[in-house]
Structure 1
Amino acid sequence: MGPEPVTENIPLFQEPQIFQPSVSLSAAAAEDLEELSITRRPQPLPDVPETSALRKVAARLEKNPRTNLSEGARKAAAALQVEPERAALLVTTQPNGVSLLSEVSVPGGSLYVIECRAWTRMLFPLYQPRIAALSLAVPPPKLLDEHDANGPLAQAQCKFDSPRQLADLVRETVSGTLHVPKADYSDSILQRGVSEPLLVILVRVTFADNSPDRVLPVVVDGISRLSSAAKTRTGKSIAGAADAVVEDLLRDANSLRRAIREEVAHYNSAYQRGLSDQVVRVGQAATVPVRLVVGARNGDTMEVNL
């Protein structure tokens, strides 16, 4: 008899072979990143979703009995979604009564949140406890409960003199945060992105000068991560990162979506050519995990205390 045939040991389930582009850094970038080790490689970014997918999220939010947001807040909650199909599934009322919303216990009640990924440039800070002791040029506003004809909503409201005053506070918050010792996580984000979710609420902002109201997704826990992500993504100084956040704040919704869409398209094209310094920065910081508050319950009645 001849020798037995040699057979390969082929596993039943093979690991998918994911394309990993080569790391190609400029001399200046290599010097800046010499001490860093990228532990989570950035991946291609999804396209900015079409408005039809976002409308589905807003519609499902309206129908879920555990959510209580105004129409403007529902639209804002939908707009920041990186994966709207997943968000729509999470907020859909299930036939068996099981809720896919996460319930977070807070003093006096519960918050209902969806855990999702958001476009970083659509999130903004208002009040930062870390710099509360500083003498701020613009005092932080009081976040008040928001109501409609049916009662309290799972969102807040605040008032500024003008959009410029709002912009000044946001700039000062980002800059002041990044100047706090050990609050600048930009090097860490460059290595592995943002892993800990940011807590986000919807805030209706009104202005004394009669400028149009706005509903902003506001980070209430994770402002250091948000500010650091802006610094990572832009590759700018602290002042430059703060200016970039304010520039996005002052854009209208359509302009901001176009800017993000252009950034994503440029990133995905550059990604195929290798991981340059700017590709790594955008890839690690363009999106962040968030816990978005979409409902609130206080005791046996719906009431919001944000």
Structure 2
Amino acid sequence: MLREQSSIVKRVGSRPQTTILNVFELTGVALFTGKIVRCRFLPALPDTGIVFRRIDLLDKPCIQARASSVVSTPRCTVIGQNGISVQLVEHLLSAVYGLGIDNLIVEIDGPEVPIFDGSSKQFVQSFIEAKTVSLAAQKPIFKLVEPLEVMSNGTVVRASVADELSFSYLLHYDAKGVLEHQDYVLKFNTDRYTRQVSSCRTFSSYEEIQPLLEKGFIKGGSLENGIIVKEGRVLNEGGLRFSNEMARHKVLDMIGDLCLIGFDVIASYHGDKSGHSQTTKLAQMIEEKVLEWVHQTPQSVQEWAHIQ
């Protein structure tokens, strides 16, 4: 028998689960390896969740996109199981969450999701074209009833009790120009996410990124897939898509990392100079409490990887 409340979350309703209607493929450059990667997106059965399948490896092993699957956060979010991993999953997962997709198989022929333009725009456009359909099974909706936070080296990510879902971020660096101070608040719904967040690109300072490029750590990086700032000035032709595009991208990343909870948890999520490490830790804390509520742990991902 299921409880209505754990120590920090309570169930407040349910909604139909979803998946995509049509299969589609995307091909793009991987940011870190510089290689061309192909992804194939397939519908999935209820309770599958989001599953990555490494079709380039023997037996095509699967990785469940859950907070408990996070293995590292080196400038991106990496998930893995049994020694097999996929990195840079956050932009794709942000689109998945933003459009309310619950069940999906992502076949990928390498260890890294393509970067495209550094935002979630390509994923969102493709998911919209593929269409989303409701399934017969229901998915519980939860609400946070006690605040949580993760603090580390002057950064914080916080989940506060709220009646509506929102995401916000405060960005402030010891620098002049566009990186000195930005903030953004998203009162979440799919339309606002699509119009105001999904096209916002990842970013870096020239001083930070140039040594990494020279050492070959970012083989696929260019002005085509991220914003570069040098001495407070944006180097990309055309400038920023929004005056606070960097803060909006941080919200995009936050949504992608919190997608790993695997459930809808209504709260007000806020980051202050935080990154993937802090947000995925928060996601793990919430996931643990939600799974306490449902009195179960995730099934074997191999059992869930049903291909239509």
TM-score band by shorter chain is under 0.3
Could you state the TM-score of these two structures normalised by the residue count of structure 2?
0.27
Over alpha carbons, which structure has the higher Rg? 1
Please state which structure has a larger fraction of its residues in strand: 2
Could you state the TM-score of these two structures normalised by the residue count of structure 1?
0.27
